[in-house]
Amino acid sequence: MCLGPKTGFSLAGLAGDVTGLHGPDFRTQQRVCPGFSEGLALQIPLTARNEASLQPELLVTRTGYRQRVTQTAALPDGTAAYSYRQNRMLTYLSLPVLLQINTSRVFMEIGPQLDYLLQASTDEQRTTEFASQAPVQQEHLAFSGRQQMTPLCVSGVAGLGYRAPKHWTLNVRYYRSFTQIFDATAAEAAPRVYATGVVLQAGYLLRLGRPQRQGTADAQ
């Protein structure tokens, strides 16, 4: 059995009905959102020669999404164009539990992941252009809160990794949530939108309970 720290870098976004996220009068364009994760991993062998193992992890994950939203219809009188950029960062406590199939160096992994939303923060830059000669109006908003977000999400994870010498591991994972990230009970007509992304991780695993050397045992 092995235990050690893990850290990772992610590129995240949304999947599903993204174009209709803000209604029929708006067009939504996505951009990838960088993030990170860090925590601990525990590797539990399932076979004598460790051809298969179970790896639960406890991670703090910072992810989210970025988008540009443009209003295409039903503009107020006197408004020529309206759009805004939105960056939303989500902090989760993540618990992936993955089955690993191991060779001497390379391993594959697959399994579920449970994410509990700890914090959500949103940054918006709104731009309004008028039909008259009035100057362009720009407004910046920043707020936090978990309103309209699903507090507990279940995802599927699949990945490929490499066990380097000196206890180091390097792996890449793809994930997608099975749970909608917007809470249908908190938001009217919540769209079917899911979290998705790719994660690159590095870890350092140390063996626990390593048996003592024979010479040390004899000396005792």
pTM for this predicted structure: 0.87
From the number of C-beta atoms within 10 Å of its C-beta (0-12, 13-18, 19+), residue 212 rates as exposed
Task: Please state, in angstroms and rounded to a whole number, the distance separating the CA atoms of residues 138 and 135.
Answer: 9
pLDDT of residue 183: 84
Which residue reads 């709104």 in tokens?
A: 126
Query: Averaged over 149-165, what is the pLDDT?
Result: 96
Assess whether pLDDT exceeds 50 at residue 216.
no
Closest by CA to 5, choosing from 138, 155, 167, 158, is: 167
The band of 186, judged by pLDDT with boundaries at 50, 70 and 90, is: low
pLDDT of residue 133: 83
Which residue reads 């699949």 in tokens?
A: 158
Structural contact between residues 51 and 102, judged by C-beta atoms closer than 8 angstroms: yes
CATH code for the part of the protein at 2-66+91-121+149-209: 2.40.160.20
Closest by CA to 204, choosing from 38, 54, 60, is: 38
The band of 185, judged by pLDDT with boundaries at 50, 70 and 90, is: low
Token digits of residue 200:
């690159």
Token digits of residue 199:
């994660």
pLDDT of residue 47: 94
Closest by CA to 64, choosing from 99, 25, 36, 106, is: 36
pLDDT of residue 219: 42
Coil vs helix vs strand at 139: strand
Q: What is the DSSP letter of 184?
A: T
Task: Please state, in angstroms and rounded to a whole number, the distance separating the CA atoms of residues 18 and 181.
Answer: 12
Query: Averaged over 172-182, what is the pLDDT?
Result: 96
Which residue reads 């249908």 in tokens?
A: 184
pLDDT of residue 84: 96
Assess whether pLDDT exceeds 70 at residue 220.
no
